[in-house]
Amino acid sequence: MDEIARCELIVGGQRSGKSYRAELLSGQWLTDNTHRAVMLATAYAWDAEMRDRIIRHQSDRALRLPTMQTVEEPINIGSAINLHSTEKTLIVVDCLTLWLTNLLMPLNVDDTLSEEEVVLAIEALSLAIKHAPGPVVLVSNEIGLGVIPMGEGVRAFVDTQGRLNQQIARVCDRVTLMVAGLPMRLK
């Protein structure tokens, strides 16, 4: 396993092994009993399948990483990084794609952010990553590798996701692409 980077962005397709790599890095970090790990979970349980998926992820993670703390933070992850990061605490954000979905397509339509507000949220996240005293591992989907989607809204989401990944990649020391469970270092 690689040495823990100050900041690592893990990108890849669905079920490519992104979260598993983040957990492996967390487990490596936690071998020092003075270290802590905090998972910032961004998912909302908006339907029964998603609720079941979240419960399954929580129970699986509790078995693999029993000392990792989970904090559910679907919106304010920059603030959550600022709050929980210390020199001896590794932060895992899983995942940026769900976070962006929460910003662009909130459960309550009155909470919809403008394009400018989304840009500011991404900037706040970038600053939190830059100033975090401890390591940060971020998981994000790479959704721009397929066909151009039908529909203006979906194309706008894919574009914004691509810009988010690029901006976070610029502030991270390491960027890893996961393909079929295999890590490919990009940076």
Report the DSSP pairing between strands 174-179 and 182-185. Answer: antiparallel
Please state, in angstroms and rounded to a whole number, the distance separating the CA atoms of residues 104 and 41.
Answer: 17
Give the Cβ contact number of residue 96 at 10 Å. Answer: 23
Selected catalytic residue, list 35, 57, 84, 131: 57
Residue 57 annotated as catalytic: yes
| Catalytic positions | 57
